[in-house]
């Protein structure tokens, strides 16, 4: 065998080993995510709230409790997350929102939201369906017509 074929075999074995390792790591993370979703569902409450503002901002700038910042890993503290400022009862609170529903949250409207701690998982309109303004089309999307 030449050295070139030996190198190719070693590289192929390393790639296969990395793929197998990634497969098992993904399975482990999937189980962990399913457990976390179960915990979120167990602690969920329906709350009516008036949405004041919504933005994507860094955790440090969001005005969240200090314990949230302390429990977040350092490499994620600078990441932008969807933050919703809402009036829940007499208090104005900053809440973290799920990425999937962030675009559907209307501003300056009262909604019924499913909240687990400071995390909004679902939003429904109190008086009928949610009226969310259409997103502006991009520069090239306007010229496709």
Tell me the average pLDDT across 122-133. 76
Predicted model pTM: 0.69
What are the angstrom distances between the C-alpha of 74 and each of 28, 68, 79, 103, 133?
23, 12, 10, 27, 35
pLDDT at 134: 67
Q: Residue 116 class from Cβ within 10 Å (0-12 exposed, 13-18 middle, 19+ buried)?
A: middle
Tell me the average pLDDT across 37-47. 88
**Residue 145 predicted with pLDDT over 70:** no
Mean pLDDT value across the chain: 88
Mean pLDDT lowest among 36-50, 75-89, 120-134: 120-134
Top-confidence residue, 139 or 55: 55
**Residue 81 predicted with pLDDT over 80:** yes
Are β-strands 45-58 and 91-97 bridged in parallel, bridged antiparallel, or unpaired?
A: unpaired
């Amino acid at each position: 065998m030449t050295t070139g074929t030996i190198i190719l075999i070693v590289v192929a074995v390393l790639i296969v080993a990395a793929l197998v390792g990634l497969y098992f790591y993904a399975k482990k993370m999937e189980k962990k995510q399913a457990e976390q979703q179960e915990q979120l569902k167990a602690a969920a409450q329906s709350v009516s709230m008036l949405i004041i503002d919504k933005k994507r901002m860094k955790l440090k700038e969001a005005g969240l409790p200090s314990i949230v910042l302390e429990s977040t890993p350092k490499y994620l503290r600078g990441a932008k997350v969807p933050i919703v400022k809402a009036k829940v009862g007499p208090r104005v609170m900053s809440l973290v929102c799920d990425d999937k529903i962030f675009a559907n949250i209307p501003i300056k409207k009262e909604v019924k939201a499913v909240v687990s701690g400071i995390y909004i998982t679902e939003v429904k309109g109190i008086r009928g369906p949610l009226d969310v303004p259409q997103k502006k089309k991009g520069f090239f999307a306007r010229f496709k017509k």
